[in-house]
Amino acid sequence: MKEKFLMAGPVALHIADSGKGDKCVVLLHGYLESMYVWDDFTPLLTPSVRVITVDIPGHGISQILGEKHTMEMMADVLRDMLDALGIEKCTMVGHSMGGYVALAFCARHKERLDGVVLLSSTPNPDTEQKKENRQREIALVKAGKKEALARVAPEAGFAEQNRRRLQSYIADLTEQVYITEDEGIVALLNGMMERADQNQMLRECGVRQLFILGRKDGYIPAEVAEQIVASHPQAEVAWLAESGHMGFIEQSEACAEALLAFVTGKTETEENI
């Protein structure tokens, strides 16, 4: 993976690109993460496909664009990134918040997609309770109390049974919270609160879809995930039986297998891994 900055339209974007492969996969990280979260996962894909990872503006070291980064704005930045790289089509894989960006991209630029993958993500908009939680996080960050997020968020992403084994990843994610710019956190929280309900769009868009879900996800409980799956019969589904919200780390090989099968068109309708 070769790291570089490029101009995606007017936006300075930090990316990494493996550069080789007939099929292209764009990996979009989640909230309080950066493109480095994929470092151990991308080698499982790169022998087969070209992989691009990107710091979503507001996180990592990509440019911050203002007080609110809407998912639609981020989607347009990614379109400009593909244009700058000369990539006509890709499969876009969004983890958690990255999934919200991938959905907005699908809604606005579906002609650029071979497929869209929601990895521990949801097409549902924020509930009122979730919006209130995000407002509290904004207040914490603005009050200089970001450490409250760092103490809780990274560990909560992993299934309890996996936390000791993956403690080094939790430590890395905790450090990522501290180095993420406060303004970027607030901008993306503001954008996530306003995101659209994308359920109807997914059912009608005609783009191939894969949901990869963790059976032990504390953020998207299994019963909620089951409801999402039931309302989207058009989507292919892979369940990670021993994963929480971070399935690409907790069960990296199984997650990569499901993703590559989808990209190459060999996925079963639904499978448990």
Q: pLDDT under 50 in the chain at which residues?
A: 269
Look at phi and psi of residue 144 and say left if phi exceeds 0, alpha if psi is from -120 to 50, else beta.
Answer: left
- Tell me the two tokens of residue 231: 């309302």
pLDDT at res. 268? 52
Exposure letters 80-101 (e unless 16+ CB within 10 A, then b): bbbeebeeeebbbbbbbbbbbb
Distance (Å, whole) CA 220 – CA 201 = 20
pLDDT at res. 47? 86
* Residue 119 CB-density burial (10 A; 0-12 exposed, 13-18 middle, 19+ buried): buried
pLDDT, tens digit, 9 for 90 and up, residues 25-41: 999 999 999 999 999 99
CB 146 within 8 A of CB 27: no
pLDDT at res. 267? 54
Backbone angles phi, psi at 190, to 5 degrees: -60, -40
Whole-model pTM?
0.95
DSSP assignment letter at 121: -
pLDDT at res. 211? 98
Distance (Å, whole) CA 172 – CA 123 = 28
Look at residues 120, 111, 136, 81 and name the one whose alpha carbon lies nearest to residue 213.
120
pLDDT, tens digit, 9 for 90 and up, residues 127-154: 999 999 999 999 999 999 999 899 889 9
Cβ within 8 Å of residue 240, ≥6 positions away: 212, 213, 214, 215, 247, 250, 251, 254, 255, 273
User: Domains of the chain: which residue ranges?
Assistant: 2-272
Distance (Å, whole) CA 16 – CA 37 = 12
Alpha carbon dihedral 152, 154, 155, 156, in 10-degree steps, equals 70
- What CATH architecture applies to the domain 2-272? 3-Layer(aba) Sandwich (3.40)
pLDDT at res. 269? 46
pLDDT at res. 271? 56
